[in-house]
């Protein structure tokens, strides 16, 4: 019996150690000057983590750019699960960070709650805009504006018109498809993903009315194996251009396209750089310049220009856009490229609508 | 012998039930999606079901091997995660080292094989820990298994953060599809069974092998004796401890193969927690199969098929909210577990440490 108790306690210790190791991943702080003089920026990622080859990674890149240019001090924490969001924000707040950037639609409620709790910290949230809604935990409809009088005076929402760049990706896909079937391997059915998908489908139909656009939502951003098999299912149904919209899950779709010799379109960043294994089939990527938005946000705080509210990045201000065609530069016909340009102009001057 | 005849008869009954069940499922599916699942779609779904069932089947097999000897192993998930991470890292970095001295093709094949070996070894290490703690020190096996899971999350998270997060070179990709000569060209059966990737074949062969070893060899008899009544086995001169050790180790190696599936066969990316609970679903498949290898495979296939049908429904019925088809595999599991299988009785000494 005594031996059992002893070994149990050893086990408990091992478990604790392991749990400590499993604690959220943190990057070392950058910069060697004494703290206090410098602006301190904390980034809380969604479950995808800073190596998701996608928007979390891009947000961290924006922070790193601010580190390089302004010498701010920066650190990130990765959320392992949604219950970590508030805890991770707390960690930065208790260390008196000046700016906390939260990445992703799913962190909307956590960010609002914490922004109210720490009114002196400036929050930037990627992909979530607050609107007064009945019974909403973050901003209910007793107010007119969530930012001005809803208690979120210290929050800026960094929003992107994914539907615009999704539309352009759709134009490329609709112009390149041989089978007249294009498809999207999507992550969770949340507004940014839906905007991408809707824009994509309408763009494909705009250039090519005969096209049919398939789509499957997968309730995870970290399930590439499922993403790949879903891509395979749609390729079985004739799809020959796969648009992966969902972090690592979407990356699975790109891989399916590569293995079956079809075409693919990346998302969020120029995936030619972040996912080199699929280069040969990658037509382009529907990029959200999260890095630019995050960098500009830090810059605005640094220069005392912080403004609560919604900050929308679109084609017009260069916040979203198609990545280069890279290896496909010479294989995409000029007629398709001309249509892409036509769509860009139309979306910019408002004569063309994405249908979202 | 009577038992043999019984096994044959129950085998035939099983086959009839499976065929009728599949046909019923197909009719039901077509009713939902308006008759659009043709022969090609059926073949595609079944082939995909087998692919998605592979990691679950490996996990279930690990469970069968351990629990038949009386050791409960809920650390399968952790072992698979550890192996997935190891395989990814070895494949990626082994390729960089090897590609200069040999061609990229050969380097890719070699690094993948090396990765499988070391991945299995990493899972074996965890299995050895589980074995020592639960057999020698007689700790509650559920606790030990939980510790293995937490430990694996910690270690893989740490490795990911330190070495697998940023600035990675391009890897050699996954195993190519291995067409079995002649058999691959058979209609229907060919694309389902013989145009798969290597680990899927390994899984099918292992199923047969474990079934044979468990029920037709002295070793299997001893294993089952130790799992049912270790005291009796001991009085007959069977080394209970040694039998349990070896079974847990072999189970670890098999779980390692399951982990390899994620990063060497399904996709060529790794992200933390990417095993997504399939280790636990493997345990459910094992119980479904009443601790028999083929039964476990059937359980894994049902889940794989449910998962595959989910995509098909989503593709053809975008008007149905995506969450409803996503529930399908789980609902199916519950229905089959309660309606078809009946009472599942574990080995009598399952989970009980043996005191000499």
pLDDT, tens digit, for every residue of B103-113? 888 999 999 99
- Note whether A248 contacts B271, CB cutoff 8 Å: yes
Give the model's confidence band at B3: pLDDT under 50 very low, under 70 low, under 90 confident, else very high: low
Q: Please give the average per-residue pLDDT across A298-326, as a whole number.
A: 92
Chain A residues within 8 A of B273 when measuring between CB atoms: 80, 222
User: Which residues on chain B are in Cβ contact (under 8 Å) with A222?
Assistant: 271-274, 276
pLDDT digits (tens, 9 = 90+) for A152-178: 999 999 999 999 999 999 999 999 999
* φ/ψ of residue A38, rounded to 5: -100, 155
B170 touches chain A (CB under 8 A): yes
Nearest residue to B258 via CA among B298, B307, B200, B306: B200
Token pair recorded at residue A297: 């946000």
Look up the CATH architecture of domain A26-160+291-313.
3-Layer(aba) Sandwich (3.40)
* Residues of chain B numbered 326-345 and touching chain A (CB < 8 Å): 326
Of A345, A291, A288, residue with least CA distance to A321: A288
Sheet holding A155-160, edge to edge: A73-78, A40-45, A99-103, A122-126, A155-160, A309-313
Cβ contacts of A236 on chain B, cutoff 8 Å: 40-41, 44
Residues in chain A with CB shorter than 8 Å from the CB of B274 are 222-225, 248
Tokens of B163: 């070495």
**How many CB atoms are located within 10 Å of the residue B99 CB?**
18
Nearest-by-CA chain A residue for B48: A229
Task: Report pLDDT digits (tens) over B186-241.
Answer: 988 999 999 999 999 999 999 999 999 999 999 999 999 999 999 999 999 999 99
* Structure tokens, A190: 């949340």
More confident residue, A333 or B34: A333
B315 touches chain A (CB under 8 A): yes
Per-residue confidence (pLDDT) for residue A26, from 0 to 100? 55
CATH code where residue B135 lies: 1.10.3470
Q: Has residue B53 been placed in a domain?
A: yes
Chain B residues in contact with A223 by the CB 8 A cut-off are 274, 276
Res A23: pLDDT: 46
Could you state, in order of their start, the residue ranges of all structural domains in chain A?
26-160+291-313, 162-287+325-349
Residue B86 has a pLDDT of 96
| Contacting residues for A93 by C-beta, under 8 A, at least 6 apart | A100, A114, A117, A118, A121
| Closest residue, chain A, to B153 (C-alpha) | A22
**Intrachain domains A26-160+291-313 and A162-287+325-349 with the same fold:** yes
Task: Tell whether the torsion through CA atoms of B227, B232, B236 and B242 is positive or negative.
Answer: positive
**Taking a C-beta distance cutoff of 8 angstroms, is the pair B302, B66 a contact?**
no
Q: How confident is the model at residue A42 (pLDDT cuts 50, 70, 90)?
A: very high
Residue A84: the pLDDT is 92
Measured CA to CA, the distance from residue A347 to residue A353 in angstroms comes to 6
The answer as to whether B245 is a domain residue is yes
**What pLDDT score was predicted for residue A33?**
43
Residue A3: the pLDDT is 47
Residue A216 and residue B311: Cβ atoms within 8 Å?
yes
- Both tokens of residue A147? 């930012």
Q: Residues B129-170: pLDDT tens digits? A: 999 999 999 999 999 999 999 999 999 988 987 888 777 888
| Predicted local distance difference test score (pLDDT) of residue B2 | 54
**Rounded distance, CA A29 to CA A75, Å?**
5
Residue A24 distance to chain B (closest CA, Å)? 9
What are the tokens at B64? Answer: 């069968």
Percentage of chain B exceeding pLDDT 70: 97
3-state SS class at A217: strand
Residue B326 reports pLDDT greater than 50 = yes
Report the candidate in A123, A103, A98 with the shortest Cα–Cα distance to residue A113. Answer: A123
> How do residues B21-33 score in pLDDT, each as one tens digit?
888 888 988 888 8
Residue B16's pLDDT band (cuts 50, 70, 90): confident
Q: Do A4 and B137 touch (CB under 8 A)?
A: yes
Coil vs helix vs strand at A77: strand
Q: Identify which of B129, B123, B77 has the alpha carbon closest to the alpha carbon of residue A7.
A: B129
The pLDDT value recorded for residue B1 is: 44
Shortest alpha-carbon distance between residue A16 and chain B (Å): 9
CB–CB contact A215 B146 (8 Å): no
Q: Which of A270-279, B198-207, B307-316 has the highest mean pLDDT?
A: B198-207
Mean pLDDT within A301-319? 91
Integer CA distances (angstroms), A29 to A69, A154, B204, B348, in order? 15, 24, 49, 55
Could you read off the pLDDT of A200-251 as tens digits, one per residue? 999 999 999 999 999 999 988 889 999 999 999 999 999 999 999 988 899 9
Number of folded domains that form chain B? 1
Rounded to whole angstroms, the Cα distance separating A267 from B315 reads: 20
Q: How far apart are CA B163 and CA A286, in angstroms?
A: 28
Q: State the best of A9, A21, A188, A258 to mutate against chain B, taking most chain B CBs within 10 Å.
A: A21
pLDDT classification of B7: cutoffs 50, 70, 90: low
Does a structural domain hold residue B205? yes
Query: CA of B278: how far to CAs of A152, A247, A300, B99, B320, in Å?
Result: 41, 20, 45, 33, 26
Whole-complex ipTM: 0.88
A18 chain-B contacts, CB cut-off 8 A: 147, 150-151, 153-155
The count of CB pairs under 8 A between chains A and B is 146
Domain that holds residue B243: 49-341
A252-261, A330-339, B26-35, B257-266: the lowest-pLDDT one: B26-35
Q: Which residue of B has its CA nearest to A227?
A: B267
Question: Which residues are registered as beta bridge partners of A103?
Answer: A126
A34-38, A41-45, A320-324: segment of lowest average pLDDT: A34-38
Residue position matching structure tokens 């990545």: A323
Mean of the pLDDT values across residues B4-14? Answer: 70
**What pLDDT is stored for residue B6 in this prediction?**
62
Task: Classify residue B28: in a domain, yes or no.
Answer: no
Q: What is the pLDDT of residue B13?
A: 82
For residue A19, give the nearest of B150, B166, B262 by CB distance. B150
Name the average pLDDT for chain B. Answer: 90
Residues A171-189, mean pLDDT to the nearest whole number: 96
User: Which CATH number among 3.40.50.2300, 3.50.30.60, 3.40.50.970, 3.40.50.920 corresponds to the domain A162-287+325-349?
Assistant: 3.40.50.2300
Alpha-carbon dihedral B40, B302, B18, B224, rounded to 10 degrees: 140
Please state, in angstroms and rounded to a whole number, the distance separating the CA atoms of residues A186 and B208. Answer: 37
Percent of residues, chain A, with pLDDT higher than 90: 71
- Which residue bears the tokens 């493997």? B282
Confidence at A17, pLDDT banded by 50, 70, 90: very low
Look up the pTM and report it: 0.85
Residue B24, domain member (yes or no):
no
Q: What is the pLDDT of residue A27?
A: 52
């Amino acid at each position: 019996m005594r031996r059992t108790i002893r070994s149990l306690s050893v086990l408990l210790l091992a478990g604790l150690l392991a749990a400590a190791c499993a604690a959220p991943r943190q990057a070392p702080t950058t910069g060697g000057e004494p703290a206090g003089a410098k602006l301190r920026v904390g980034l809380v990622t969604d479950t995808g983590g800073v190596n998701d080859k996608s928007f979390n990674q891009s947000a961290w890149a924006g922070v790193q750019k601010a580190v390089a240019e302004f010498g701010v001090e920066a650190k990130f924490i990765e959320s392992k699960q949604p219950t970590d969001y508030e805890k991770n924000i707390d960690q930065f707040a208790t260390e008196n960070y000046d700016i906390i950037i939260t990445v992703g639609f799913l962190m909307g409620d956590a960010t609002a709650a914490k922004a109210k709790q720490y009114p002196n910290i400036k929050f930037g949230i990627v992909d979530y805009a607050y609107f007064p809604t009945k019974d909403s935990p973050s901003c209910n409809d007793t107010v007119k504006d969530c930012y001005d009088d809803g208690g979120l005076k210290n929050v800026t929402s960094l929003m992107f018109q994914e539907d615009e760049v999704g539309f352009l990706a759709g134009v490329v896909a609709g112009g390149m498809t041989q089978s007249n079937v294009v498809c999207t391997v999507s992550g969770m059915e949340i507004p940014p993903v839906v905007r991408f998908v809707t824009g994509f489908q309408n763009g494909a139909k705009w250039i090519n009315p005969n096209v049919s656009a398939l789509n499957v939502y997968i309730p995870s951003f970290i399930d590439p194996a499922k993403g790949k098999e879903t891509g395979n299912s749609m390729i079985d149904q004739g799809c020959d251009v796969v648009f992966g919209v969902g972090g690592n899950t979407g990356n699975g779709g790109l891989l399916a396209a590569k293995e079956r010799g079809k075409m693919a379109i990346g998302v969020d960043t120029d995936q030619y750089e972040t996912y080199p294994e699929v280069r040969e089939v990658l037509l382009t990527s529907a990029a959200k310049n999260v890095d630019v938005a995050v960098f500009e946000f830090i810059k605005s705080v640094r220069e005392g220009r912080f403004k609560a509210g919604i900050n929308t990045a679109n084609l017009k201000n260069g916040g979203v856009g198609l990545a280069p065609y890279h290896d496909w530069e010479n294989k995409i016909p000029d007629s398709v490229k001309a249509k892409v340009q036509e769509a860009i102009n139309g979306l910019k001057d408002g004569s063309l609508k994405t249908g979202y | 012998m009577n038992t043999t005849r019984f096994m044959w008869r129950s085998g035939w009954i099983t086959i009839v039930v499976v065929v009728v069940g599949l046909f019923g499922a197909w009719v039901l599916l077509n009713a939902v999606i308006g008759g659009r699942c043709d022969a090609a779609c059926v073949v595609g779904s079944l082939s995909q079901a087998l692919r998605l069932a592979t990691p679950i089947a490996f996990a279930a097999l690990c469970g069968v091997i351990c629990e038949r000897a009386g050791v409960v192993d809920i650390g399968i998930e952790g072992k698979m995660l550890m192996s997935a991470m190891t395989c990814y890292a070895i494949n990626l970095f082994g390729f960089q080292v090897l590609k200069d001295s040999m061609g990229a093709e050969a380097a890719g094949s070699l690094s993948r094989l090396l990765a499988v070996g070391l991945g299995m070894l990493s899972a074996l290490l965890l299995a050895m820990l589980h074995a020592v703690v639960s057999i020698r020190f007689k700790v509650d096996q559920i606790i030990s298994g939980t510790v293995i899971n937490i430990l694996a999350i910690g270690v893989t998270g740490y490795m990911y953060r330190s070495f697998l997060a940023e600035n990675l070179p391009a890897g050699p990709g996954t195993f190519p599809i291995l067409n079995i000569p002649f058999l691959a060209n058979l209609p229907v059966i060919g694309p389902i069974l013989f145009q798969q990737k290597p680990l899927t074949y390994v899984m099918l062969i292992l199923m047969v092998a474990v079934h044979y070893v468990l029920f037709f060899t002295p070793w299997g008899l001893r294993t089952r004796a130790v799992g049912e009544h270790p005291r009796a086995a001991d009085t007959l001169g069977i080394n209970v401890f040694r039998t349990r050790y070896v079974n847990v180790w072999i189970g670890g190696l098999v779980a390692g193969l399951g982990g390899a599936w994620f990063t060497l066969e399904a996709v060529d990316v790794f992200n933390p927690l990417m095993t997504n609970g399939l280790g636990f679903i493997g345990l459910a498949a094992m119980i479904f199969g009443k601790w028999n290898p083929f039964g476990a495979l059937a359980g894994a296939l049902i889940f794989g098929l449910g998962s595959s049908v989910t995509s098909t429904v989503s593709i053809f019925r975008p008007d149905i909210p995506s969450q409803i088809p996503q529930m399908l595999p789980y609902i199916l599991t519950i229905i089959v577990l309660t309606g078809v299988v009946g009472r599942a009785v574990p080995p009598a000494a399952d989970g009980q440490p043996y005191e000499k």
